[in-house]
Amino acid sequence: MTTGEPSADDSGGPRDPLMVVSIHDVAPATADETARWCADADALGIPVSLLVIPGPWRGMALAEHADYAGVLRARAEHGDELVLHGWCHQAGPEGRAVRRAVGRAVARGAAEFAALDEQQAGRRLTDAKAVLAALGLETAGFTPPGWLASPAAERALARAGFRYTTDHFGVKDLRGSRAARARRGFALSHRPGGTGERLGAAVMKAGAAWATRRRGLVRVALHPDDLHRPGLRDDTLRAIEGALKAGARATTYGAVLDAAAS
């Protein structure tokens, strides 16, 4: 471990460096990209959190592709975690204009839960859970598209029985009377095709190394479109390998919540 004082978790105790590698936008339309990232994770010997979109997205829906649900079940049996990632991953006209504008700026129109009220969020969660249940898939965690969810959407998540959600800054425990930060850790992600693409790659590598040195939570987010840009896959794998060599232990979001509660 490199030098530097270890930081503490929210309960004041020392923490071990953990790393969650999440694969976003898991759906029939991105089956090939997800398989590529999963193969990379398998080669590294690490589990991943698979962020599943059950509703219609890029012209396909999970309910229409039961064979792909079988792939996801096999990954869960392999030790990966299934995490709900919204319903359709597309923001609509609902909610306050300010929250919608923030969602567009941060998540390029994908912030589906950023401005929803509790009833609107609840309907989408009910639809998503019904699809997953019909296909024999289970999840207790939720990562909103763009890592943006309104306070009302978080209340809907708790009412729907989800154990945790995530945002840009960490993992939030939804059990109890109010959501509490279970573990802090900034989400490191690329912005493929944008003007900040190379800067984002550098930030991912530096951020993973910094969080590991601080004995914090390293969060590396992989997206299907990352694989369509030359060099981003290699940059990502180097960041993950660097964190592992520095002592980070790869795990899943659900296991991070369990560790925080123990």
Mean residue pLDDT across the chain: 89
For 7-48, how does the pLDDT look when each residue is reduced to its tens digit (9 = 90+)?
A: 444 444 446 799 999 999 999 999 999 999 999 999 999 999
CA 192 to chain centroid, in Å, comes to: 17
For 192-241, how does the pLDDT look when each residue is reduced to its tens digit (9 = 90+)?
A: 776 678 888 899 999 999 999 999 999 999 999 999 988 999 999 999 99
Contact status, residue 72 vs residue 42, Cβ threshold 8 Å: no
Residue whose C-alpha is closest to residue 139's, from 106, 165, 168: 165
pLDDT of residue 74: 97
Other residues' Cβ atoms within 10 Å of the Cβ of residue 213: 19
Give this prediction's pTM: 0.89
All residues at 6 or more sequence positions from 180 whose CB lies less than 8 Å from its CB, including other chains? 10, 172, 173
